[in-house]
Amino acid sequence: MKTCIKHIREIVGIVPEGVLRKQGHEMNETGVLHDAWLLIDGDRIAAFGPKAEMPTDADSYIDAEDGLLMPSFCDSHTHIVYAGSREGEFIDKINGLSYEEIARRGGGILNSADRLHETTEDELYEQSMARVNEMISKGTGAMEIKSGYGLRTEDELKMLRVIRRIREHTPALVRSTFLGAHAIGRGYKHDEYVRLVAEEMIPAVAKEGLADFVDVFCDEGFFTVEDTNLILLAGEQYGLRPKIHANELAVSGGVQVGVKHKALSVDHLEKTTDAEIEALRGTNTMPTMLPGSSFFLGLPYGRAKEFIEAGLGVALASDYNPGSSPSGDMRFVMAMGCIRMRLTTVQALNAVTLNSAYAMGVSDELGSITVGKRANLILTRPLNSLTMIPYMYQTPFIKQIILNGKLL
Ligand code: NIG
Ligand code: FE
């Protein structure tokens, strides 16, 4: 079944086959084609080209009516499987408590763990799936989802089984990350919990094949570099590649320990020095920044421009979670990349598509307009240019979502 999208004002996000990420000055480039068409065959991008060469043998045609066509957003860092909400803490925050203070009072992640413990797997699936559908409706076509609100073996497995079920039922591409080391579970001593993660949880998760990646919240007041090292070593034995929470609350050493273990990405990076930039140079690790948590918690924004000037790539993701970033709106993430981090619109586009696909290990399949890649696309309403998307950041811009070649 061949579908041709015609009358496209601009295709943006064209990347040659085999390019899996962009770094340094490559971040300033994206392939653009004006007055174009794109042909979908089954679930794949089959071809695209200029108006004069439009195929005449497609089974159906969609009129883009002068809209832009771009790759779906890839959201490489989310915690969307959670139970209930934390709006009480939102009030605490308005009243002046910091994220760390709320956590120290037993709120925060532990609060979500209590709710999750009381919630059945079916109910958790329903609540989480609503968020997945919300993200899809805002243009996300691939998402990574973490565990980390279980904090005891059975509840971590419950979360990961919910992620597996989401993966089986959503048209978006899903990758799963085991984040048992998100906080010390209630009732455990620090070292006892670290051992539980490394020696009991990781083998149990691997036995059921429930995770693609392993993550640790390597930050002040949570897990140390030594804890992280131990947990990543355990993960390595089971083939789990790391994605690290690093340098959100302090210069934590999380970037360096992540790089040492060949992490696919190191995420957050609100607090970084030049040493972190140096540590990332020449590696395969994607620095990933989460402007949604900077916005919501009032933290500094990541130094994305300096990272790029130093020759590194940058990915942006939503961090969608109930405590530090209760939004999965990747268009808003892109806008914050431009408005608060001063990325150009093209840099921001690369950060929320190809590079975020790389940061979840799927950029061979998604994240750009490339022949052979999965047809996960956003067709926009009529727009002057890509810049309109982050600039008019509240104005609805999506005309049609296409996932796996199908119109939603
Ligand atoms: O990425 N920083 C640690 N974890 C999440 C927050 C989780 C929560 O507060 O529920 C984050 O911001
Ligand atoms: Fe996170």
pLDDT digits (tens, 9 = 90+) for 178-226: 999 999 999 999 999 999 999 999 999 999 999 999 999 999 999 999 9
Instruction: Give the ligand 1 atom nearest the CA of 323.
Output: 9
Rounded to an integer, the average pLDDT of 347-358 is 98
CA of 250 to the centre of ligand 1 (A): 14
Rounded to an integer, the average pLDDT of 265-276 is 96
Instruction: Give the ligand 1 atom nearest the CA of 297.
Output: 12
The protein residues having their C-beta less than 5 angstroms from ligand 2 (an ion) are 319
CA of 35 to the centre of ligand 2 (A): 40
Question: Which ligand is closest in space to the CA of residue 77?
Answer: 2
Is residue 103's pLDDT more than 90? no
Protein residue closest via CA to atom 1 of ligand 1 = 319
The greatest distance separating any two alpha carbons of the chain, rounded to the nearest whole angstrom, comes to 69
What residues flank ligand 1, with Cβ below 6 Å?
79, 108-109, 112, 217, 245, 248, 293, 319, 321-324
**Which pLDDT band, with edges at 50, 70 and 90, does 234 fall under?**
very high
Q: What is the pLDDT of residue 66?
A: 96
**Which pLDDT band, with edges at 50, 70 and 90, does 30 fall under?**
very high
CA of 319 to the centre of ligand 2 (A): 5
CA of 321 to the centre of ligand 1 (A): 7
**182, 184, 243, best to mutate for ligand 1 pocket (most atoms within 8 Å of CB):** 182
CA of 312 to the centre of ligand 2 (A): 21
Protein residue closest via CA to atom 7 of ligand 1 = 323
Q: What is the pLDDT of residue 247?
A: 96
Tens of pLDDT, residues 38-76 = 999 999 999 999 999 999 999 999 999 999 999 999 999
Rounded to an integer, the average pLDDT of 120-127 is 98
Q: What is the pLDDT of residue 373?
A: 98
- The pTM of the full predicted model, rounded to 2 decimals, is 0.97
Q: What is the pLDDT of residue 106?
A: 80
Is residue 164's pLDDT more than 90? yes
Q: What is the pLDDT of residue 46?
A: 98
Q: Round to whole Å and give the CA distance between 399 and 41.
A: 21
Q: What percent of the chain has pLDDT above 90? A: 98
Q: What is the pLDDT of residue 107?
A: 86
Rounded to an integer, the average pLDDT of 274-290 is 98
Question: Which ligand is closest in space to the CA of residue 181?
Answer: 1
Instruction: Give the ligand 1 atom nearest the CA of 322.
Output: 10
CA of 406 to the centre of ligand 2 (A): 31
Q: Which residues are CB-contacts of 346 (< 8 A; sequence separation ≥ 6)? A: 27, 28, 29, 30, 386
CA of 279 to the centre of ligand 1 (A): 24
Which residues make up the CATH 2.30.40.10 domain(s) of the chain? 2-71+368-407
Q: What is the pLDDT of residue 105?
A: 83
Rounded to an integer, the average pLDDT of 356-363 is 98
Q: What is the pLDDT of residue 100?
A: 87
Q: In CATH terms, is domain 2-71+368-407 a member of 3.40.630.30? A: no
Superfamily the domain 73-358 falls into: Metal-dependent hydrolases (3.20.20.140)
| Residue 52: burial class (beta carbons within 10 Å; 0-12, 13-18, 19+) | exposed
Rounded to an integer, the average pLDDT of 80-88 is 96
**76, 77, 79, 293, best to mutate for ligand 1 pocket (most atoms within 8 Å of CB):** 79
Instruction: Give the ligand 1 atom nearest the CA of 179.
Output: 4
Question: Which ligand is closest in space to the CA of residue 86?
Answer: 1
CA of 101 to the centre of ligand 2 (A): 18
Which residues make up the CATH 3.20.20.140 domain(s) of the chain? 73-358
More confident residue, 100 or 362: 362
Is residue 304's pLDDT more than 90? yes
